[in-house]
Amino acid sequence: MSKPDISRAKSAALYEKAKTYFPGGVNSPVRAFKSVYGTPLFIEKGDGSHIWDADGNEFIDFCCSWGPLILGHNHAAVREKVTEVMQKGMSFGAPTALENELAELILSNNRFIQKIRFVSSGTEAVMSAIRLARGYTKRDKVLKFEGCYHGHSDSLLVKAGSGLVTFGETSSAGVPKAFADETIVVSLDDKKALQEAFEEFKGQIAAVIIEPVPANNGLLLQTQDYLDHLRQLCTENGTMLIFDEVISGFRVGFEGAAGYYGIQPDIITYGKIIGGGLPVGAYGASAEVMDHVSPVGSVYQAGTLSGNPVAMAAGIAQIGELLKPGFYDSLHAKTAGFVNDIQHFVDERGYTVKIFTIGSIFWFAFTDQESITTAEQIDPNSMIRFKEMHRELINRGIYLGPSGYEVGFISAAHTSTDLETTKTAIFDSLDIVFK
């Protein structure tokens, strides 16, 4: 039986106010709940795996701020480190030892980068990595994949046109066509399209950028073979391979997707987890490549709040926890068990659902396809089922990101009780969706 809708009176009132202040009432579009039922929930607090909204409703949270909170909300180690550091001031615009500390934690435990630069968001990290690749190769074109998201910088707000290899079309007003013309867009998992692109734009492609674990438009897991092939093509063509690990970095393992697949990219971008819930992004590469960045190199990039001490403190505390022995093993085992149980349930009932997963990421696809590796394979009509499931889950105290194209995250704070409760809620919700 469907559950009655939870009370959202206070959230609704806050949303009405917010709409007078912000476009669409939000400061980032997906938060507006356009793809699911109801008014957006205004969150008041989080603790561990739980969040509470303005009306006092409690949820087990699988959005986890879209990925950063791998330890869950308000983790004691992060909170204490931040509290300690902020006693000494918020920002200096001068170097601090905290930047060294976070860099050392990362660089001494990651075989794929030798130097790093901290920025304040994933978008900024990617934008800077693209500039570095262009500056380093002295080429202009960038190749990206349909279904990968890399933040909202101009060069990358570009989607595929029609045809195998296409100049991009802008996917936002305000992006000049001239920018989109420098971006080539191809489908994921398509060696032929890649081959054609490299032939058509021989000697012109500065960088290929990919989410090695594409997790912003469903979870479009690529094969090892395809990623190896991509690495090889880039090497043969003098093109830099950028792994955008803003989600996968520190998520599928400490060394992210580079470590998971054993592939050495030329530049890696980070965000989300690296800042422990505060705004931090980063890009890293070999020392030789990174030394092309200002002030030693000619590629300019700067930031008033880059390496902000409070943000560094959160990163240091969170990254330190991830380095504890067995951290990822137990997180991944917990996720695999959760996903297996749900897959088993839907298979027994004959529901057309497949849960794709890697590490502690999962994605509900309302499909009978065994694998989905490209954006084109996602059936937009299947999102109706997600929308229904989302409503049932919210009413049962389970919070998933408000779109069927978004993945879910499990944190170290999710207990076996949380996961049992969630499974029951999912089973009951799916019974309603498929009734």
Ligand X SMILES: *Cc1c(COP(=O)(O)O)cnc(C)c1O
**Contact residues for ligand X (CB under 6 A)?**
121-123, 126, 149-151, 211, 216, 244, 246-247, 271, 281
Name 268's Cβ contacts closer than 8 Å, sequence gap at least 6: 112, 113, 242, 243, 245, 249, 256, 258, 283, 284, 285
Instruction: Give the Å distances, CA to CA, from 217 to 132, 146, 150, 154, 382.
Output: 26, 9, 11, 19, 13
In the annotation, is 423 catalytic?
Answer: no
221 contacts 373 by C-beta, under 8 angstroms: yes
Q: At closest approach, how far in Å is the CB of 184 from ligand X?
A: 18
109's tokens: 């435990």
Q: Which helix (H) or strand (E) holds 257?
A: helix 256-261
87 contacts 426 by C-beta, under 8 angstroms: no
Q: What are phi and psi of 362, to 5 degrees?
A: -140, 155
Q: At closest approach, how far in Å is the CB of 431 from ligand X?
A: 32
Instruction: Classify residue 232 as exposed, middle or buried by CB count within 10 Å of its CB (0-12, 13-18, 19+).
Output: exposed
In the annotation, is 45 catalytic?
Answer: no
Instruction: Give the Å distances, CA to CA, from 118 to 34, 113, 115, 392.
Output: 33, 13, 10, 40
Q: At closest approach, how far in Å is the CB of 97 from ligand X?
A: 25
With respect to ligand X, which residue has the nearer C-beta, 67 or 429? 67
Determine the residue type at 321.
Answer: E
Q: At closest approach, how far in Å is the CB of 149 from ligand X?
A: 5
Residue sitting closest to ligand X (CB): 122
Determine the residue type at 82.
Answer: V
d(CA 230, CA 208): 9
With respect to ligand X, which residue has the nearer C-beta, 22 or 424? 22
In the annotation, is 149 catalytic?
Answer: yes
Q: At closest approach, how far in Å is the CB of 148 from ligand X?
A: 7
CA torsion angle 114 243 124 127 (round to 10): 110
Give the pairing type, strands 58-61 and 281-285. unpaired
Instruction: Give the Å distances, CA to CA, from 309 to 82, 86, 96.
Output: 9, 8, 7
Q: At closest approach, how far in Å is the CB of 135 from ligand X?
A: 20
Q: At closest approach, how far in Å is the CB of 243 from ligand X?
A: 10
Q: Choosing from 141, 272, 334, 354, which is the catalytic residue?
A: 272
With respect to ligand X, which residue has the nearer C-beta, 48 or 271? 271
d(CA 86, CA 202): 51
Provide the 3-class DSSP secondary structure of residue 75: coil
Q: Choosing from 189, 190, 244, 266, which is the catalytic residue?
A: 244
With respect to ligand X, which residue has the nearer C-beta, 6 or 148? 148
With respect to ligand X, which residue has the nearer C-beta, 40 or 281? 281
With respect to ligand X, which residue has the nearer C-beta, 106 or 130? 130
- From the list 53, 30, 55, the residue with the least C-alpha distance to 42 is 53
d(CA 34, CA 18): 15
Q: At closest approach, how far in Å is the CB of 123 from ligand X?
A: 3
Instruction: Classify residue 267 as exposed, middle or buried by CB count within 10 Å of its CB (0-12, 13-18, 19+).
Output: buried
Q: Point out which residues pair with 411 in neighbouring strands.
A: none
With respect to ligand X, which residue has the nearer C-beta, 278 or 394? 278
Q: Choosing from 149, 260, 328, 399, which is the catalytic residue?
A: 149
With respect to ligand X, which residue has the nearer C-beta, 41 or 246? 246
d(CA 266, CA 28): 30
Q: At closest approach, how far in Å is the CB of 215 from ligand X?
A: 7
With respect to ligand X, which residue has the nearer C-beta, 214 or 309? 214
**Which residue numbers are catalytic?**
149, 244, 272
